[in-house]
Amino acid sequence: MSEQSRSPYRRPRRGGRPGQGGQGGSGSPPAPRDPARRAAYDVLRAVDQRDAYANLLLPSLLTERGISGRDAALATELTYGTLRLQGTYDAVLERCVDRTLASVDVEVLPLLRLGAHQLLSTKIPPHAAVSATVDLARRAVGHHRGRFVNAVLRKVSARDLDGWVSVVAPDRAVDPSGYLSVAHSHPRWAVKELARALGERSKDGLVETERLLAAHNERPRVTLVAKPGRATVADLVAAGAEEARYSPFAAYLPEGDPASIREVHQNRAAVQDEASQLVALALTRVDLHGDDSRWLDMCAGPGGKAGLLASLAGQRDARLLAAEVQPARAGLVAGAVRRAPRDAGRVVAADGTAPAWRPGSFDRVLVDAPCTGLGALRRRPESRWRRTESSAADLSTLQHSLLNSAAEAVRPGGVVAYVTCSPHLDETDAIVRGILSERGDLTPLRAADYLDEVPDLATGPEGRYVQFWPHVHGTDAMFLALLRRSEEA
């Protein structure tokens, strides 16, 4: 049985007739009449109730149920579309339900959101959207609650999306953050933090912030990485991809399943965001004096950056040690670095804050720190609802500790790359400033100088750091700081 089809995404039925009651989750009902909507509903329930990740659960569920073609495409659109605009739909549903939304049964709420998405954001005719969702409700949660779903969705269908936003969102002139929170389906605190990272203030209208929020709700293109020494961009282009804009290893896949590409199937290429490729590449471009044979990826799971670094290291006769604290994720890293040129990748299950290596052991160190993930909301839209205003503060101690440990792990004259998939200033600038204030042996490099092919990257004091943006670069919002450890006296 595959890793994705085991217990995190499956649970026993709670009883009741097949297709009714509280089944939810990824348990497959027998012969569903509408497999696409049933799959989307089951994923939405699992995300809401068990903190499942849609990008992991949906593909495995589609495979398990044999859903393909147009049904798979519809299930994907319904799942991700509903998750992206969940905040907007909840504001609409609050007006259409005769009690608080929090009091609606947990197995019914995903049906209401699913129906709202079809009515407000797709070209599905309203009568078909209501009828299909009510039919699903009757099969999944019973006829009585199906009547409730029908009544609510008929109220939703009274206006289009813009009409509802004009009714349920705060006045933009009075409360810009509140308006954008509802109109673009982000928690209010996230809107404020993203605006702060962009350097915008509410009184200025938050124009660029709105562009960023809108980009988060767009369907991201699939980006592939050709692992150096094992595949080329030309190989991916021959398989139907398009040469990417920035990374010399990247290609965009306009359509189709990445796993069907031979190079991906053979682990010679992989799915990886372009910014993720470039922050790893920047680390390898920094000039070093002396030895350059020992590299470390300190927080390597699930292995995307480690796979690229191992290939680059092998081409230079260097070796990469990829460390990951969770054994299961370390197994994923091992798969990512497998068959790197010169067998350059090695994996260890280890805690970066309690290192299993001697100080000063490495020439280059990457610390891709755990973070709020505000930079990857296009691909993981449900993440925005799982974090709170205190999330960055909760992670800051760990981020600081990992960066300090990385500074200890690198040799004098070596370089550390601090990376987060978040633009939140408390996870980026604040962490780096804190380390620099405590240690006199680190010097920040101007990171944008190592990524000349990408415009508009420089951020932070004197433009020292790099910040990618979805609405500017079409990538995740990756942050990068490069720090060189001073040579010994």
The tens digit of pLDDT for each residue in 227-264 reads 999 999 999 999 999 999 999 999 999 988 898 999 99
Q: How confident is the model at residue 18 (pLDDT cuts 50, 70, 90)?
A: very low
- The amino acid that residue 97 corresponds to is V
User: What is the arithmetic mean of pLDDT over 400-424?
Assistant: 98
Q: What is the pLDDT of residue 106?
A: 95
Residue 6 has pLDDT above 70, yes or no: no
Q: What average pLDDT does the chain have?
A: 92
Residue 2 has pLDDT above 70, yes or no: no
Residue 3 has pLDDT above 60, yes or no: no
Residue 9 has pLDDT above 80, yes or no: no
Please list the residues that pair with 322 across neighbouring strands: 297, 347
Q: What is the pLDDT of residue 49?
A: 93
Q: How confident is the model at residue 25 (pLDDT cuts 50, 70, 90)?
A: very low
The CA distance from 227 to 326, in Å, is 24
Catalytic site positions = 421
Q: What is the pLDDT of residue 219?
A: 92
Residue 211 has pLDDT above 70, yes or no: yes
Q: What is the pLDDT of residue 28?
A: 44
Q: What is the pLDDT of residue 13?
A: 34
The tens digit of pLDDT for each residue in 196-207 reads 999 999 988 899
pTM, two decimals, is 0.90
User: What is the arithmetic mean of pLDDT over 266-291?
Assistant: 97
3-state helix/strand/coil string of the chain = CCHHHCHHHCCCCCCCCCCCCCCCCCCCCCCCCCHHHHHHHHHHHHHHHHCCCHHHHHHHHHHHHCCCHHHHHHHHHHHHHHHHCHHHHHHHHHHHCCCCHHHCCCCCHHHHHHHHHHHHHCCCCHHHHHHHHHHHHHHHHCHHHHHHHHHHHHHHCCCCHHHHHHHHCCCCCCCHHHHHHHHCCCCHHHHHHHHHHHCCCHHHCCHHHHHHHHHHCCCCCEEEEECCCCCCHHHHHHCCCEECCCCCCEEEECCCCHHHCHHHHCCCEEECCHHHHHHHHHHHHCCCCCCCCEEEECCCCCCHHHHHHHHHHHHCCCEEEEEECCHHHHHHHHHHHCCCHHHCEEEEECCCCCCCCCCCCEEEEEEECCCCCHHHCCCCHHHHHCCCCCHHHHHHHHHHHHHHHHHHHEEEEEEEEEEECCCCCCCCHHHHHHHHHHCCCEEEECHHHHCCCCCCCEECHHHCEEECCHHHHCCCCCEEEEEEECCCC
The tens digit of pLDDT for each residue in 419-439 reads 999 999 999 999 999 999 999
User: What is the arithmetic mean of pLDDT over 178-188?
Assistant: 98
Residue 114 has pLDDT above 80, yes or no: yes
The tens digit of pLDDT for each residue in 347-378 reads 999 999 999 999 999 999 999 999 999 999 99
Q: How confident is the model at residue 32 (pLDDT cuts 50, 70, 90)?
A: low
Q: What is the pLDDT of residue 8?
A: 29
Q: What is the pLDDT of residue 38?
A: 97
